[in-house]
Chains A and B, each alone.
Chain A
């Protein structure tokens, strides 16, 4: 078990900060992923305050780094030579930026018709707003998902970290792999055009459907979530943190609902849910006053519990509540440890652990092949390996 699914395939990574995860994923499948950075390293390596950016570190593990100044003819020429040898190119520049430098898909595919060119940009390659500037926050706003996250009495609030950008990189990887499989038949590459806004919009399924059919808009509901007409509380305060619990519906949900109700009874809490016919409980049909009564009792109950109570006794009873993990909880999680999901690496002398893979495969490795590279650390070896005429191997 040494050769990966993508072993022997070359990825030229011009993804910068926005398009970093796609190459990171392909590297875990065995591809040789080489970042091409400006001399001294790309801007995304540091935060605006000048510190090492954990996002950059996390999303560039397992790659090599080469440098070239794409503002010069020599740098552009080197990029073209590398692209001519590459199986995939990943980039996240504003549409037109690569064209001005002779590095757009039209130019590169003329040199290398097999090239699969993945573009991950805020709004995609074409359309009236293709030239608009976007970030995670702006794409989540125009993609609709921001509108449904947050408390009603405050502005909509962004999801943690780069949720939409991460998703868009997964979409780019899917497109790249579909094109890769097709290339085995046709011998030809193509461009994969990913719009981060569009990727965000693809999660607004329910909103798009209820608006189309019923002219009804979904709104943000804080610690609640809307299922059809129902409004279910999903975030509960514990003694030392929070948990997720959403009273489920119908006969599938009945065992968990019975278990929770029984736990309230066993500990002598007021329980307005006594006597409910759970197998026929329909979360869309119960009146708001009833739901408010239940939620008040559950709130009091959850506030008496710790994260450990939920993770042990709650799990034993099968109430379907899950602790809202903090990073420290994840690092200490025995389940992830059992699956060898976290791997060690050293950063500036400090030993830290990171998520090793995106998924597992029984016949091929899917772990991270190495650390995040120093800028230009591999320029010489990449040039010699990628640009020398291939040596015959037995």
Chain B
């Protein structure tokens, strides 16, 4: 059984109906920080991440061998429950009485169709905290529309403003963004709501939208559009950074990012390169053609360097610079990420030991602790008997009737 009261969220009880990314990442953050999280999974509607193989160690037809699912579901307890079985409420109702927080990220309307929406739950448990994540939010004309991570990128302007001015935009979500950025805000709100409940006795429903959080990230473009006119794609550039770019280094498809936010950085960079360069004041006023010419000069200089050596040299000179790292670099050639424990070797019963990605923020006195994800239904008996409090004989009877299949 997962730890009971260690970590900052020790003692917090979470009933987790999440699937896919947004909900799973939210409850992962809560679970890694000590909350007891019961993930409810129905074999009639399993998360795609349990099904679709992405690495060669994963097999079709198996459910416990997908590292992507395992990553999103560390430190949780696994309850397998057939939500199409007529008696599923006999398990869920005592768990609702047990829970402090219910988390879900189904399409809005799904929880209501199960009788598990906030209006219904709060009649039974006025102090329950429900956290819902979705693409469009729980209300509004588009609330029931389909969406994935790329939808959030498109809706928010992130897609339109990522890429080069002379070409169509490129996906900023080649790695997920909205799916990963919404969860810390949902988890923060869950904890804040728990503290509010501690002081006032009141529960509430948190409605978090990927569209809206991505628009918050893009708020500067929204403000700029109203002050200065429609913003354009700017490649590597930013209006509030004096000069920056991504330049070639030795090796195939190897690059270094160099970014000088102010005159001090620009001075240090041009001194490192050598020769005559325009002043910081001139760079601040330079047009695209002039900046393109600077980019070509810098690239001619960087292309003969090993990227890592150049990064260390520029950093020593006070120039913000970093190689464009790939996953191999991150795992094998980044002592900083290693020092932070960005991955942790955990033994998984099916896949064996592999490096699980850890939470990217550290609490100094009550740090996160992670265990590997549960297999499908791994904790069903413990959850039903020890937490929901059903007698063992009832468990056996429900099991025989197919409730846990």
Total count of chain B residues near the partner, CB < 8 A: 157
Interface presence of A178 (CB below 8 A): yes
> What residues of A have a CB within 8 angstroms of the CB of B175 in the complex?
144-145, 148, 203-207
> What residues of B have a CB within 8 angstroms of the CB of A244 in the complex?
150-151, 153-154, 159, 171
Interface presence of A271 (CB below 8 A): no
Please name the residue on chain B nearest to A123 by beta carbon.
B336
CB of A316 to closest CB in B, whole Å: 11
Question: A328 to B230, Cβ gap below 8 A?
Answer: yes
Mask, B34-58, CB within 8 Å of A = 1, is 0000000000000010001111110
Q: Which of A170, A176, A204, A225 contacts B330 (CB 8 A)?
A: A204
Q: Which of B68, B143, B160 contacts A325 (CB 8 A)?
A: B160
Question: B192 to A180, Cβ gap below 8 A?
Answer: yes
Given contacts A58-B220, A157-B162, A206-B54, whether A355 and B215 have CB atoms under 8 Å apart is yes
Question: B206 to A327, Cβ gap below 8 A?
Answer: no
Question: A175 to B163, Cβ gap below 8 A?
Answer: no
CB of A81 to closest CB in B, whole Å: 23
Given contacts A151-B170, A361-B193, whether A175 and B68 have CB atoms under 8 Å apart is no
> What residues of A have a CB within 8 angstroms of the CB of B235 in the complex?
157-158
Q: What is the CA–CA distance of A138 and B319 in the complex, to the nearest angstrom? A: 10
Question: B177 to A44, Cβ gap below 8 A?
Answer: no
Total count of chain A residues near the partner, CB < 8 A: 159
Q: What is the CA–CA distance of A183 and B245 in the complex, to the nearest angstrom? A: 43
Question: B236 to A157, Cβ gap below 8 A?
Answer: yes
- Indicate the member of B145, B327, B355 with the most A CB atoms within 10 Å: B327
Question: B331 to A48, Cβ gap below 8 A?
Answer: no
> What residues of B have a CB within 8 angstroms of the CB of A134 in the complex?
259, 320, 322
Question: B194 to A141, Cβ gap below 8 A?
Answer: no
User: Which residues between 66 and 92 of chain A lie within 8 Å of chain B, taking CB atoms?
Assistant: none
Interface presence of A156 (CB below 8 A): yes
> What residues of B have a CB within 8 angstroms of the CB of A193 in the complex?
361-362, 364
Question: B170 to A205, Cβ gap below 8 A?
Answer: no
> What residues of B have a CB within 8 angstroms of the CB of A176 in the complex?
188
Q: Which of B57, B189, B191 contacts A361 (CB 8 A)?
A: B189
CB of A80 to closest CB in B, whole Å: 20
Q: What is the CA–CA distance of A176 and B189 in the complex, to the nearest angstrom? A: 11
Given contacts A142-B323, A157-B236, A182-B9, whether A148 and B147 have CB atoms under 8 Å apart is no
CB of A230 to closest CB in B, whole Å: 10
CB of A58 to closest CB in B, whole Å: 4
Interface presence of A55 (CB below 8 A): yes
Question: B242 to A48, Cβ gap below 8 A?
Answer: yes
Question: A221 to B322, Cβ gap below 8 A?
Answer: no
Question: B55 to A209, Cβ gap below 8 A?
Answer: yes
Interface presence of A129 (CB below 8 A): yes
Q: Which of B171, B185, B194, B230 contacts A327 (CB 8 A)?
A: B230
Interface presence of A339 (CB below 8 A): yes
Q: What is the CA–CA distance of A134 and B244 in the complex, to the nearest angstrom? A: 12
Given contacts A141-B257, A170-B185, A358-B213, whether A133 and B205 have CB atoms under 8 Å apart is no
User: Which residues between 44 and 73 of chain A lie within 8 Å of chain B, taking CB atoms?
Assistant: 44, 47-50, 52-59
User: Which residues between 152 and 197 of chain B lie within 8 Å of chain A, taking CB atoms?
Assistant: 153-164, 167-177, 180-181, 184-196
Q: What is the CA–CA distance of A207 and B131 in the complex, to the nearest angstrom? A: 29
Q: What is the CA–CA distance of A150 and B331 in the complex, to the nearest angstrom? A: 22
Q: Which of B57, B187, B241, B255 contacts A156 (CB 8 A)?
A: B255
Chain B interface: which of A211-219, A287-295, A375-383, A386-394?
A: A211-219
Question: B357 to A362, Cβ gap below 8 A?
Answer: no
Q: Which of B140, B151, B236 contacts A137 (CB 8 A)?
A: B236
> What residues of A have a CB within 8 angstroms of the CB of B48 in the complex?
250, 252
Interface presence of A223 (CB below 8 A): yes
> What residues of A have a CB within 8 angstroms of the CB of B56 in the complex?
213-214
Chain A interface: which of B270-278, B337-345, B370-378, B392-400?
A: B337-345
Please name the residue on chain B nearest to A148 by beta carbon.
B174
Contacts A/B (CB < 8 Å), 30 sampled:
A44-B240, A54-B227, A55-B220, A122-B320, A133-B318, A136-B241, A137-B244, A143-B325, A160-B158, A177-B188, A190-B364, A192-B361, A198-B342, A205-B175, A205-B357, A207-B330, A208-B331, A209-B67, A214-B56, A223-B170, A224-B171, A284-B52, A324-B169, A327-B222, A328-B225, A331-B225, A335-B142, A339-B140, A352-B227, A353-B222
Other A-B contacts than A124-B362, A174-B185, A211-B326, 15 sampled, CB-CB below 8 A, are A141-B325, A155-B236, A161-B218, A162-B217, A184-B195, A206-B175, A213-B57, A242-B169, A244-B151, A244-B153, A246-B148, A256-B146, A325-B155, A328-B230, A362-B205
